[in-house]
Amino acid sequence: MKKKTAELAENQTTGNELLFEEALQKLEDIVKQLEKGELPLDESLARFSEGVLLSKACLTKLNNAEQQIDTILHEEEGIMVEKPLPLQEDM
């Protein structure tokens, strides 16, 4: 049982390495699996944990996109400018 749990943990993704759309699709797939209620408890917990990580990654990506949009729309001396933002990958 511990071996199976360890294997599930190894296969988890944080979502940071995925595009937003890929992370969101993976999160939706996990939600569907959990809603069916057919997974063993250990696997359900592993999937739930992965889903939380993916959710955080999606939120970070959305926040970064919003900051970039705000920066692009910020006017400096009447001219639209784009300012680079530091990436936030701590989540």
49 domain-assigned? yes
34 domain-assigned? yes
6 domain-assigned? no
User: Can you give the residue range of the structural domain that contains 58?
Assistant: 16-76
Domain harbouring 52, CATH code: 1.10.287.1040
Q: Which residues contact 30 (CB under 8 A, 6 or more apart)?
A: 47, 48, 50, 51, 54
67 domain-assigned? yes
Q: Is 81 exposed, middle or buried (0-12, 13-18, 19+ CB in 10 A)?
A: exposed
- Which pLDDT score, from 0 to 100, does residue 79 have? 65
- Which pLDDT score, from 0 to 100, does residue 77 have? 55
72 domain-assigned? yes
The number of domains in the chain is 1
**For the whole model, what pTM was predicted?**
0.70
Task: For residue 7, name the pLDDT band (cuts at 50, 70, 90).
Answer: low
55 domain-assigned? yes
How far is 14 from 34, CA to CA, in rounded Å?
A: 18
